[in-house]
A and B are shown apart, each in its own frame.
Chain A
Amino acid sequence: MAVRAALLTAILPLAGLDASGVVVEQLNRAFTRSSVTILKGSNIRFSNVDEFDHEVYVDSPNFNYDSYEQSPGETAVVTFTAAGSFEVRCHIHPKMHLHVDVVDH
């Protein structure tokens, strides 16, 4: 699981930098990455490969998101429409944290 996560997150950004998404997995009550940089307008796919429910959210002045309940096996797709720095967290597991830098073209 961890190997697959590492491969996906390493290869995908190399494959298509502009429009395609990054995959970040939720595993062992943590994100499989601690930070990611993406282009404005692209998305992050949060793939729950954990044994727990998760609930991804972003709470910031210029961008908000809440996945609501995300069961094991479900993927939450978050499209970042604003540039800037954002903290992605989980409503259920407060130690889960992903830092996202969204850059303009």
Chain B
Amino acid sequence: MRRAVLALLAALVWAGGGRAWAQANLAGSGRLLATSGITDVEGTGGGGLVPWALITGYGTNDQIGANLHATVAGEPDFLLTSLGAGIGLYDRIEFSYAHEWFDTGRAGARLGLGQGYQFHLDVAGAKVRLFGNAVYDQDTLLPEVSAGAEFKAADRHAVLDAIGAKSPDGVDFYAAATKLFLSESLLVDATLRFTKANQFGLLGFGGDRNDSYRPEFEASAALLLSRRLAIGAEVRTKPDNLGFAREGPAFDAFVAYFLDKHVSATLAFLALGPIARQGDQNGVYFSLQSGF
């Protein structure tokens, strides 16, 4: 599945790029700096943990934008790495892909899996902006609203089965409402997600405690300090499907720096809650995004 999604995304970027050559300003990065957000761990445009309604990239309603991201999150017992790409079409549709490596380090040995045992997760995302424009709609309370889905496939089926996960694959559905209050230099987002994912999907979907879709609540607030700098905080609640290991909400506090419309970097402090019985995982996250 991963290769097919990669091929599809590459084809889309190539097609978008091809049309961009043909129409000089199709890849013109017309949107204002920082108004596309960053990329979350699952490759979706938004904050660091939470998908936002904003369509990724700097393309206006008649342009295409795309980007690549690389993220590393170091926790006491785990290392999470994510690499991926996203494309935004005409400020209306977003496609994304991310591959995650979840390295258990010494916890792997403690869990009987072996030191440095890795889980992998493929995430293919699609998002469509339904209505609203967070930047232009300053004279109304109406937010920018998008709906999306993340198609996730984990590996290590035998291990997932052993810990009680009902499926290695799953789909998350979400709706996000994002509002930028320019007069306060403040951005807020509220996202509702229906998911069965265990630890974002890294430990499969559904479990012995629960195997039905649960609504989960996610929110971000970001203060723009300057044209290039934003600070913010996020919360993301998660299901708790596995009897084997309890799971709780994730939080982060971040600083995002937008060098220009081609490069941005984010540093965050993450509190992911307990993972696989190893205790609360608080650590540091660093992400680089490059695109147009």
> CB–CB under 8 A between A and B in the complex?
no
